[in-house]
Amino acid sequence: MRAMNKLKRPVDLTARLATLAFVLILTICADAPVIAEPLQAATADRVGFPRDYRASLKLLSVSVKDDEPSVMTAYGNEQATSITASSQLPYPYGTVIAMEFAHGVRDGEKQIVHDASGTARKGDVARIDVMRRERGYGEVYGDNRAGEWEFASYRPDGTTLVSPEKGGTCAACHRKAGPERDFVYRLRVPAK
Ligand code: HEC
């Protein structure tokens, strides 16, 4: 009897370990939806802040207006720069165009200071407006839909000012640019 008991022990241990592993797996599986939810919420931004956009995107254009933030700089990814004539529109899926609104650096007469190459000098960035085109995008905007674009706006640190779901006001105005421009106000071609 004693010998048999001794023999049974390793089997018991294996069985116990197996049960423990099974329970562990069950616990992990049961927890999975709870873990996934906040992750989904965090990745719900389908436009996305293009981090390091000054380096990672191509410079498309710079324009200066009178009121602050006065210096508007447009940047685009490769898909955006692939379009160099309106005959090539619409923009390919995956296109990202960012519009940075920066305060101009002004002299004593309140005139914007330009560097040697004639470019307006930029100070603090107020916000970065971003539009992204993907298949089926824009449906959330209903009657305000501007093609397959979704719109969002970010602070320079990447935090959200206007989330894509709230981008309906952006879409409503870009809708006025019209389908012949693919709802982009100005054809943005890479700056020389
Ligand atoms: C009242 C109209 C209006 C609203 C609202 C508006 N835009 Fe625009 N947007 C324009 C105009 C006009 C231009 C062109 C400006 C220029 O080049 O002088 C422009 C330019 C842009 C560009 C550069 C590409 C282009 O169309 O020339 C991006 C990107 C952009 N807007 C994103 C946004 C986002 C994101 C929002 C909302 C957070 C937004 N816009 C809200 C009118 C609007």
Measured from the Cα of 97, ligand 1's closest atom is: 29
Residues 148-170: tens digit of each pLDDT: 999 999 999 999 999 999 999 99
Q: In the β-sheet with 122-133, what is the strand arrangement from edge to edge?
A: 58-64, 71-76, 95-104, 122-133, 149-154, 160-162
Distance (Å) from CA 86 to ligand 1 centroid: 18
pLDDT of residue 19: 64
pLDDT of residue 35: 45
pLDDT of residue 17: 60
Largest CA distance in the chain: 104
Distance (Å) from CA 111 to ligand 1 centroid: 25
pLDDT of residue 2: 52
User: Is residue 83 lining ligand 1, measured as CB closer than 6 Å?
Assistant: no
CA 1 to chain centre: 71
pTM as predicted:
0.81
Distance (Å) from CA 28 to ligand 1 centroid: 46
Give me the residues of the chain with pLDDT under 70, please: 1-15, 17-43
User: Is residue 60 lining ligand 1, measured as CB closer than 6 Å?
Assistant: no
Q: Alpha-carbon distance 80 to 100, whole Å?
A: 16
User: Is residue 148 lining ligand 1, measured as CB closer than 6 Å?
Assistant: no
Q: Alpha-carbon distance 163 to 48, whole Å?
A: 9
